[in-house]
Amino acid sequence: MGIYERRSTDPRLSRLRQFRSVRGIELRKLLGVTTLALVFGFLGWLDMDSVIASSSATSSGNTNSPNSQAPDASQEPFASEQDESFILFAPLGQEAAYLINRDGDVVHQWELSGKPGNAVYLLEGGNLLATYAVPGRFMRGGVGGGVELLTWDGDEVWSFELATDHAHLHHDVEALPNGNVLMISWEAKTRREALAAGLSANQLPASGEVWSEMILEYDPELGQVVWEWNLWDHVLPVGWSASEHPEKIDLDFFANPRSEDWWHFNSIDYSAELDQIVISSRAASEIWIIDHDLTTTEAAGDAGDLLYRFGNPAAYGGTGAQVLVAQHNPTWLELPSSGTAGPIRILVFDNGDPKTRPYSRVLELELPAYGESLSTRVLPATIVWQYPSGTSEASDAFFSDHISGAQRLASGNTLICSGVEGRFFEVTSAGEIVWEYVNPFTGIGPGGVESNETFRCEAYSAEFIGQGL
């Protein structure tokens, strides 16, 4: 475990758990910022790394300037029928996280140890679980390196950093019911390791290395990583057929001489009921499900192979249409109670891209029974709900080709973060927008352009947060 570094630790809270519900705020359109963010996002798509990296390269904006104040609460907000009244977000150009009410007023904020890297979450009682960027060798879109737990008053409970020449945290974390935290990390594989895995020299980037992915489980009480899953343990062996072994990960599909970041995990979510983890691979345009009910040794073997994958059959040599394009933020929805059968559903933000599908959408997927045999691991999911409802509506609705997310509310409504626009909005199951808010906190983006890009937003109730709200 020598690659892991802990800065400090206090006894963990009795329960770290992410709350998933939402509330509304008023519309404030910062049209200039939104348009520029979309333009530069489109141009940057020509190089995926530069697109995503632009967010973490921004500098802090002046939060005292007119354009960076919270929206004017004197304007009448959109009506909302929910009890979850507070929205948390961390603009990628700032070193801060903000909690706003439905009127758009900032009711609380935290100073982070760096720019977001990228996700932030509130825990029950009002503590903040936040990622932050640490300089290092792995400077790509979504770069992190540090995770910290802060009290409501901003004091550090614990922090953990992994930002070495060998590995670097990025994008997202997930708080577990037992107090541990799942984290995503890049792991550099050398030219020798890549060639031994069956790749040819002309498939490798100029650096000669490939960045694999790891999922680490950190125990803040012990101050150490207690479990891990490593993608490289599950690559397709040389000579095997990808279509006959969809549980394995085909290196040939991902080979990209332009970038070391072949898989680009951008989100992670955990189901306590299933003891399974869902991961989003932007580069594969797939969501993957793996088993968490394993030891680290078991996770390195066949038991740690993919239980399910969906979104892009080409990634495993399959046939059929690609459904997902550069997606983010798959989250578990309906789950059967223990010992009963029932549907398993996942909500996902399906980004799209300017070349093949220049609009975004949010999908609710119902998964088939999966994992018992190889054939069930690639059965198609069923789209049971989507916003917007059709292609013609989608092309006019919204577009965020990177970052972004969606959250299902207790009411059945859905909170959407169109991250490139810095726009948060809530829709009913019928697709009606019932409120909107545009992030007014900006930072300097590529080419000196101001940007209000936001990785994601999360909603919480006053009861969950506490702190007298």
- Model confidence at 34: pLDDT above 60: no
Residue 98 has pLDDT above 90, yes or no: yes
Cα–Cα distance, 53 to 44 (Å, whole number): 10
Closest CA to 406 of 20, 117, 56, 16: 20
- Output 221 or 28, whichever has higher pLDDT: 221
Q: pLDDT value at position 338?
A: 58
Encoding tokens for residue 171?
A: 């994008």
Express each pLDDT in 412-453 by its tens digit. Answer: 999 999 999 999 999 999 999 998 999 999 986 444 578 999
Identify whether the C-beta of residue 87 lies closer than 8 Å to the C-beta of residue 426. Answer: no
Q: How much is the pLDDT for 302?
A: 98
Place of tokens 């004017």: 72
**pTM, entire model:** 0.84
Q: What is the pLDDT of residue 469?
A: 82
Let me know: does 22 contact 459? Beta carbons within 8 Å.
Answer: yes
DSSP 341-395: ---EEEEEEE--BTTTB---EEEEEEEPS-SSSTGGGGPPPEEEEEESSSHHHHH
Q: Average pLDDT over the chain, rounded to whole?
A: 84
Please give the pLDDT value at position 468.
80
Instruction: Say which CATH number the domain at 280 has.
Output: 2.120.10.30
Position 26 scores a pLDDT of: 36
**Rounded mean pLDDT of 23-32?**
36
Q: What pLDDT shows up at residue 397?
A: 82
H or E element, residue 169: strand 167-175
Please tell me which residue, 190 or 51, carries the higher pLDDT value: 190
Reading the block at residue 83, the tokens are: 């009890």
**167, pLDDT greater than 60:** yes
Given a cut of 70, whether residue 269 has pLDDT beyond it is yes
Is 60 exceeded by the pLDDT of residue 49?
A: no
Percent of the chain at pLDDT > 90 equals 73
Q: Chain-centre distance of CA 73, in angstroms?
A: 30
Q: Which segment of 24-28, 127-131, 179-183, 271-275 scores lowest on mean pLDDT?
A: 24-28
Evaluate whether 40 touches 449 at the Cβ level (below 8 Å). yes
Residue 215 identity: I
**Count of CB atoms situated within 10 Å of the CB of 419:** 32
> Which region among 82-86, 113-117, 198-202, 408-412 has the lowest average model confidence (pLDDT)?
82-86
**β-strands 382-387, 344-350 pairing:** unpaired
| pLDDT recorded at residue 12 | 29
Structural domain for 252, as ranges: 5-465
pLDDT tens digits along 374-424: 999 999 999 999 999 977 676 678 999 999 999 999 889 999 999 999 999
Torsion 343-349-353-359 (CA) sign: positive
**Confidence at residue 5, expressed as pLDDT on a 0 to 100 scale:** 40
Chain position carrying tokens 């010992």? 339
- Number of domains the chain is built from: 1
pLDDT in tens, 117-127: 999 999 999 99
DSSP summary character for residue 335:
-
Q: What is the mean pLDDT of residues 125-133?
A: 97
Greater confidence (43 vs 174) lies with: 174
Q: Does the pLDDT of residue 334 top 70, yes or no?
A: yes
How many alpha carbons fall within 13 Å on the CB side of residue 250?
Answer: 19
- Residues forming a β-bridge with 109: 98
pLDDT at 372: 86
Task: Please tell me the predicted confidence (pLDDT) of residue 450.
Answer: 83
Residues 6+ apart with CB under 8 A from 95: 60, 111, 112, 113, 114, 115, 132
Which of 39-48, 389-398, 449-458 has maximum average pLDDT?
Answer: 449-458
Task: Give 342-359 pLDDT, tens digit per residue.
Answer: 789 999 999 999 999 999
The two three-digit tokens of residue 123, written as one number = 């825990």
pLDDT for 109 beyond 80: yes
